[in-house]
Each structure stands twice: as structure tokens, then as C-alpha cells.
Structure 1
Amino acid sequence: MKSEPSMESGKTIRLAERRVFSHSFKPLYDEGMGLVEQTAEYLDGQGRIDARNLSRLAATLYAAESMRLTTRLMQVASWLLLQRAANSGEMTRDQVAAEKSKVRLDTASAREDAAGWSELPEAFQDLINRSLSLQALVRRMDDEIYGDHSAFAASAALRRSNPVSDQIMLLNTAFARG
């Protein structure tokens, strides 16, 4: 459902809201989905080859970071899909707000000074850094549009019985036709 940007204090335009609920959302959506695709291609192809040549320490870090990277990108993709559904009128903003409470935009990564980080393939490090930048942008936009609901999200996360099931349900909702 498209709507006009909200006004705060009667005069301030919320730029993130304007960006998400307009045609300028498409480049952000394309960037996010492109990064998901590039990451999948790397992890299924060259990444497997690169991982074989790592020390035990770096291979363990690679495995952990691969899981964090894919989790981070699944969450960002879910958020982007929900915003696209709202932008195209497939979901109301209230429905999106309810569903997005299942999306976590706080998947961390090891620091660059972590043991074994310097051994990780450069292409892999680039994907991690790009995903972190995208997640930070999406989180800022989410906070501006919907408000910072960190306390609510933390309590909701504790109540979850199965995060994978929640993610599948979220994706099904985002693609559901009504």
C-alpha cells in the first residue's frame, strides 16, 4: 500500500520512509537480492574451493562466518521482500509491521582482528563487509520508519520456539497472494 511520507513535528520528512515507499526502493531491493545471489554463487562454487586451502583455524572461522553471512542475508532479504510487498500494495503497512517483528537485523560478524581472519579469502571478506553495510543501512531505515523496537524484538526472540520455522513462515507471508 503506497502512502505519503509521514511528517514528524509537522515539518520533517522521514527520508527512509519516502525511499522505501517509492520507486527509489528498487535499487536498494536489487542491491540486496543481487548480494544474496552473488553470495550463494560464491559459497556454492569458488568458496568451496577456497575453503579447502584454509588452515583448521581459518576453516572453522570460514564455516562460522558462512552461517552468519547467510543468516544475515536471509534476514535482510526478508525485510526487503516485506517492504516490496507494502510498496506494491500486496500487504498493508500494518501487516508488514506485524510480520517484520520476526526479522532480525542484528546478525554480527567476527572482527577483522579475529584469529584466522586474515587467511579468509578476499572475495569472502568482501561479501561479509558488503552484507554488514547493507544490514546497517536496512536497520537504520527500519528504525526510522518503524521505530526502534529492540526491547520488543529481544523478548519476541526469547519466545520463539523455532527460528527456522519463523523464517519460512515470514517468507511464505511475503510471497502470499491475497
Structure 2
Amino acid sequence: MTNNADHQNTIQFSSRKAASPAFTKLYSEGMALVEETAAYLETEGREEAKKLKRVAATLYAAESMRLTTRLMQLASWLLLQRALNSGEMSEEQVRSEKDKIRLDTNSSNKDVASWNELPEKFTDLVRRSLSLQAQVRTIDDGGDLLEDGAYATQENPVLNQVNLLKTAFGAK
């Protein structure tokens, strides 16, 4: 469970940064990735998956579920930030909904058997979704979104250790 201080950090980011050009760019890129992935999985990806050998097809199926889950969570986070900024939701509503979002959907290790057999377009979508997730997690943990779309972390050794513990024990 997230404590009150964490909520205050997130809301402070939201109210200050969600209207920035950098957030607008992140939002656009994130939602475009969701649309691109959906289109790929429904068409080209479906055809490419049929051509895979059994082990690679199983990996593709598992990884595509992780990919879609990751992107749905990221889209939810982006939409909440935008809704807060536009006044569609109150800070309390955003806090409540944000507690349901998970920003820790991992992917298979690239060294796993059959990873290299997966379609290049598919693995590129996975890589890009992981990059977006890392960016959103950094921002959500108190990092600043820079005007060029990059992000900068605010060094906080205690928060870093807490995040490491959360990751190690699978806590939210």
C-alpha cells in the first residue's frame, strides 16, 4: 500500500507537469504505442505468430499478454494524469484510482530460449513498452519530466532502497 507522502509526491507532479509540453509528448507517444501495438497484434502479429515453432509460439503468447497488460496499465496512468490536469477528476479520485495501477509488469529475459525467433516488430514493441514503463515509473516515483521528453530523478537514497525492497518482495 502506498503511504500519504507518496500520494502527495505524485499529485504534486500531476498538478505541475501534466500540462507541460513534455507530458503532452509523453502522453501522445504512450497512446500511439498502445494503438500501434493493438493494430499489430490484431493483424500482422497474428499472422507472424502462426508461423512460429511451438516453443516460440508459447513465448509469443505469454509475452503478448504481458505487453498488453503493461500498456493498459500505462495508458491508465497517462489518462489519470490528464484527467487530473483537465479537472475531470479530483486529486482524491486520482489517488483512489492510481492505487489500482501496477507499473511493474516485467518481460521475459532476452536470453530465454526462442526469444530470437520472435518477430522483430514484436520484440521492438516489447522493448518500447518497457522503456515507456521505466519512464513513467521514474516520474511516478518523483522524477521530473524534462522539456525534451527525458526525465531526471531526484536522488533520494531512502526512496531508492524502499523501491528496491518493493521490487524484491513484489510489493506495490
Q: Secondary structure at the match of 1:24?
A: helix
Q: 1:97 to 1:23 in 2, by over 3 A?
A: farther
- Alpha-carbon distance, 1:39 to partner: 0.2
Kindly indicate whether residue 110 of structure 2 is the aligned counterpart of residue 112 of structure 1. yes
Q: Which runs of 4+ in 1 moved over 4 A?
A: 14-17, 147-151
Kindly indicate whether residue 62 of structure 2 is the aligned counterpart of residue 79 of structure 1. no
Q: RMSD value over aligned CA atoms?
A: 2.5
One-letter amino acid of the structure 2 residue matched with residue 53 of structure 1 = K
Q: 2:99 corresponds to which residue?
A: 101
| Partners of 1:24 and 1:131 in 2: CA distance | 18
Q: Give the gaps of 5 or more residues in structure 2.
A: 1-8, 144-158
Q: 1:165 corresponds to which residue?
A: none
| Partners of 2:89 and 2:98 in 1: CA distance | 12
| Partners of 1:111 and 1:21 in 2: CA distance | 36
C-alpha deviations, 1:48-76, integer Å up to 9, x for none?
Answer: 11111111000000000000000000000
Q: Give the gaps of 5 or more residues in structure 1.
A: 1-7, 9-13, 156-178
Q: 1:141 corresponds to which residue?
A: 139
Q: 1:170 corresponds to which residue?
A: none
- Alpha-carbon distance, 1:17 to partner: 6.6
One-letter amino acid of the structure 2 residue matched with residue 39 of structure 1 = T
Q: Secondary structure at the match of 2:142?
A: helix
Q: 1:154 corresponds to which residue?
A: 171
Percent identity between the two aligned chains: 60
- Alpha-carbon distance, 1:95 to partner: 2.0
| Partners of 1:16 and 1:111 in 2: CA distance | 33
Query: How many residues are matched?
Result: 141
Q: 1:51 to 1:39 in 2, by over 3 A?
A: same
Q: Secondary structure at the match of 2:110?
A: coil
C-alpha deviations, 1:67-99, integer Å up to 9, x for none?
Answer: 000000000000000000011111122321221
Q: Secondary structure at the match of 1:32?
A: helix
Q: 2:3 corresponds to which residue?
A: none
Q: Report if the CA contact (8 A) 1:16-1:144 is conserved.
A: no
Q: Which moved more, 1:92-101 or 1:81-90?
A: 92-101
